[in-house]
Amino acid sequence: MKYAEMKNRKVLITGGTQGIGEAMAETFIADGADVVINGRVLNEKVQKVLDRTGARASMGSIMDPATAEGVVKNAAEIMGGLDVLICNAAGMSMAPYLESVPEEWWSQIKINLSGHMACIRTALPIMKANGGGTIILTSSFFGTIGWNNATGYGSSKSGLLALGQYLARAYKDDNIKVCTIIPGVIDTPQLNVDANDLGISLDEVREMYANDIAMGRLSRPSEIAETALYMASDAGRKALNGRHIIVSGGEYRSTPYYI
């Protein structure tokens, strides 16, 4: 174990069924935490994740505020409380702004931002009653730069970053800490969206992005998970309250080079 205090700490991870969220579940469970993961539906693929990691499930789409509330309440009932909420669920589509479909634009806001607002509104009273807690937000470097064809996604992730700063100040007296991770290019299934937008293969996207990263490769989901684990630790939650960490392997541009 890296952090002894994580043993039996009660953790809910939205978007925990694949990619970064799945890696977070593995990492937190390995450190002794009790973990519930959230996804839209419980299917065979998700069940395999549950069986392999030992996590439990609280399913439902957080796009609907009532469902999001139920997801958090159910997770707290399953674990007997809630110490850490990781807001990681995400949806992404890419298109030029004037060609984007309004429904797709708003669905990204509902999943990435307002859905997590509903989760947080439900989690805060539970954490306050328990004497505190930690909220970890997974934003994106798309939310800090003008990335091509990603206005809906970038806007939602920018809002998530700002939300974390405000919440940290608002609930500091309740021992509730709020930290934000800003991943760079991570090797997850979401890269298929980039590949489709660019009209190239997934391997070509990986190579193109890796060539522009100081580390020379894409970041791994496990590296984001390790960052989240530190943020949930006693030292990390205090040191990074109201702050963010960019995990990008040295990749940080003001605008994509291919525009």
Catalytic residues: 139, 153, 157
Please name which of 244, 248, 65 lies closest in space to residue 164, comparing C-alpha atoms. 244
Contact 23, 49 (CB under 8 A): no
Please list, residue by residue across 111-125, b when 16 or more beta carbons sit within 10 angstroms of its beta carbon and e when fewer do.
bbbbbbbbbbebbbe
Contact 75, 36 (CB under 8 A): yes
Cβ count near 3 (within 10 Å):
17
Contact 223, 246 (CB under 8 A): no
Give Cβ neighbours of residue 166 (< 8 Å, ≥ 6 apart).
none
Distances (CA, A) of 156 to 6, 19, 30: 30, 19, 31
Exposure on the CB side of residue 74, measured as CA atoms within 13 A:
17
Residue 6 per-residue DSSP state: G
